Amino acid sequence: MQKLRIIVGADHRGFELKDRLVAWLRSEGHEVEDIGTHSTESVDYPPYAFKVGEAVASGRCDRGILVCHSGNGIAMAANKVYGVRAAVCMNVEHAEMARRHNDANVLVIGQDYIQPGAEFEMVKTWLETPFDGGRHARRLAQIRDYEARQLSGKGS
């Protein structure tokens, strides 16, 4: 497996899974930046999503991983960062397709919605799966074009 720079963040509901993933990713030889949270004390998820998204979108990190209770809110926040393609994945097949068809650069995991013990295989698959390109690249270009128009204030 190619060694990557990976930034990982979570809110309080994803803290425990995040810590397990950080340790596992480091044991696999990846360079991992853990931005927290570092306890089960309640925190808001948007700042973690934005930090992970900005690190990936800027190229400072190759990929990002976010964890919370369901994955939905933190994914919505991460996808507000221009250039981020955050995908909520619940199993290995989701993770593979998020890479193959969507070139997802941020993996989002809902800690309470995955099978215990499945996280490592899911993350490994997501890290190793290439983007298929082809018709999928055309679709991603449409998304990037729309994002650019929105940022420029020109709408749709």
The two three-digit tokens of residue 114, written as one number: 């995955």
Q: Is 31 within 8 Å of 55 (Cβ atoms)? A: no
Say how many C-beta atoms besides its own lie within 10 A of residue 134's C-beta. Answer: 9
Q: Which whole-number Å values give the CA distances from 126 to 37, 60, 111, in the listed order?
A: 23, 19, 16
Active site residue 101: yes
Q: Which whole-number Å values give the CA distances from 38 to 14, 30, 83, 106, in the listed order?
A: 10, 20, 27, 20
* Helix boundaries (H) for 29-156: 46-57, 72-78, 92-100, 119-128, 135-152
CA 25 to chain centre: 14
Pick the catalytic residue from 12, 30, 68, 89. Answer: 68
Active site residue 68: yes
Instruction: State the catalytic residues.
Output: 68, 101
